[in-house]
């Protein structure tokens, strides 16, 4: 059956300009980190992508190593682009990254020009694309001159392999330097992708100010703290949650303390008073400042549908913001 996108896909979604660029991003973007790999049911991955687009989510975020196995999330997207979304390519923002381990040998990770350009070539092949909209340096490489890493980003734009470039997981000082180098090269930094949520607020200590001053957009990954800021942990650690799995990268049992669960319960009560789920309020809170878009993950269509409803209530009163601060501070 031929896919035809919803005629109402742009009627409700809100879009923000990314920094001082002319590019708009939906306030909710979909990440393909989990549940889009070769080990995952293809039809479910497809349903989530097409449903997201029908809801106005135009931005799909990937990286070379997303799967598992590494590279398979890009392959999944490539199959769906070919079968269903090819005619909508110009309505989509597709991003990918390189920085973490992808293949054996000294050129398979970090920030060398050799690795970054080779990785993007492989990503384009897996997705069946001539270009991506955004290409990121996925992490700062302390052993490669930043001029080389940023020079590679500049080069892929000049080659037509990417329209814009970004960085992810860069600290404040590295970000300042990256902005300066790219500006001098003539390829301005479009966007930074940091980990940001109510439980991880490091970007408020300088990074947000740097991005705002330079006119650089931001996309927050982990805005739901790997599921902590949803209704899943209200009663403790679910057996099928990331915290219960030893291989989880950003969340483990030690992170889910009684104190945090109590905070989550209080935040959930406040969200309920706002007419929102905890996830919706948490996304709205992330978007309240200098954040262009919040990057969500999903394992089923209903989660995407719930998260998109965040746009129905993005405003906070001062009283609500103060209550959130008090809860987070344990007061």
| pLDDT averaged over every residue in the chain | 94
Region 30-44 average pLDDT: 98
- Per-residue pLDDT band for 254 (boundaries 50, 70, 90) equals low
Q: Where are the domains of the chain?
A: 15-328
- Can you say whether the dihedral through the CA atoms of 72, 73, 75, 76 is positive or negative? positive
What is the rounded CA–CA span in Å between residue 229 and residue 212? Answer: 26
Q: Which residues pair with 164 in a beta bridge?
A: 134
**What are the tens digits of pLDDT across the range 45-100?**
999 999 999 999 999 999 999 999 999 999 999 999 999 999 999 999 999 999 99
With left for phi above 0 and alpha for psi between -120 and 50, is residue 300 left, alpha or beta? beta
> What pLDDT shows up at residue 291?
97
* Residues 126-142 as b or e (16 or more Cβ within 10 Å = b): bbebebbbbbbbbbbbe
DSSP line for 15-73: EEE-TTSS-EEESEEEE-SSS-STTS-HHHHHHHHHHHHHTT--EEE--TT-TTTTTHH
The closest alpha carbon to 66, from 41, 100, 32, 29, belongs to 32
CATH topology of domain 15-328: TIM Barrel (3.20.20)
The closest alpha carbon to 226, from 252, 201, 190, belongs to 252
What is the rounded CA–CA span in Å between residue 267 and residue 271? Answer: 6
- Per-residue pLDDT band for 250 (boundaries 50, 70, 90) equals low
**What are the tens digits of pLDDT across the range 104-128?**
999 999 999 999 999 999 999 999 9
Half-sphere exposure of 21 (CA within 13 A, CB side): 21
DSSP line for 109-168: SSS-HHHHHHHHHHHHHHHT-S-EEEEEE-S--TTS-HHHHHHHHHHHHHTTSEEEEEEE
> What pLDDT shows up at residue 278?
98
Token pair for 274: 């706002």
- Can you say whether the dihedral through the CA atoms of 260, 265, 268, 273 is positive or negative? negative
| The model's pTM | 0.94
DSSP assignment letter at 83: I
- Per-residue pLDDT band for 237 (boundaries 50, 70, 90) equals low
Is the pLDDT score of 238 beyond 70? no
Give the containing element (helix H, strand E) for 242: none
Token pair for 60: 């799909």
Token pair for 227: 């599921």
Place of tokens 């990121």: 136
């Amino acid at each position: 059956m031929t896919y035809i996108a919803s005629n109402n896909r742009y009627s409700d979604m809100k879009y923000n300009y990314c920094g001082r660029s002319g590019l708009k991003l939906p306030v909710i973007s979909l990440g393909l980190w989990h549940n889009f790999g070769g080990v995952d049911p293809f039809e479910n991955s497809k349903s989530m992508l097409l449903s997201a687009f029908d809801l106005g989510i135009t931005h799909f975020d990937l990286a070379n190593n997303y799967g598992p196995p590494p590279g398979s999330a890009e392959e999944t997207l490539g199959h769906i682009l070919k079968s269903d979304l090819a005619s909508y390519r110009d309505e989509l923002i597709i991003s990918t990254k390189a920085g973490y381990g992808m293949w054996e040998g000294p050129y398979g990770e970090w920030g060398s020009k050799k690795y970054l350009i080779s990785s993007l070539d492989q990503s384009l092949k897996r997705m069946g694309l001539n270009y991506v909209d955004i290409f990121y340096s996925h992490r700062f490489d302390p052993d490669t001159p930043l001029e080389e890493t940023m020079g590679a980003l500049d080069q892929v734009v000049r080659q037509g392999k990417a329209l814009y470039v970004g960085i992810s997981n860069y600290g404040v000082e590295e970000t300042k330097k990256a902005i300066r180098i790219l500006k001098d090269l003539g390829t301005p930094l479009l966007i930074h992708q940091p980990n940001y949520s109510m439980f991880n607020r490091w970007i408020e200590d300088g990074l947000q100010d740097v991005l705002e001053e330079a006119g650089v957009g931001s996309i927050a990954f982990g805005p739901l703290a790997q599921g902590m800021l949803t209704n899943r942990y209200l009663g403790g650690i679910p057996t099928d949650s990331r915290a219960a799995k030893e291989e989880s990268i950003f969340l483990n049992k030690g992170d889910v303390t009684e104190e945090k669960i109590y905070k989550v319960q209080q935040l959930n009560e406040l969200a309920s008073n706002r007419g929102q789920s905890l996830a919706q309020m948490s996304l709205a809170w992330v978007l309240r400042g200098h954040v262009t878009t919040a990057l969500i993950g999903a394992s089923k269509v209903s989660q995407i549908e719930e998260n998109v409803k965040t746009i129905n209530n993005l405003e906070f009163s001062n009283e609500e913001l103060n209550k959130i601060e008090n809860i987070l501070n344990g007061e």
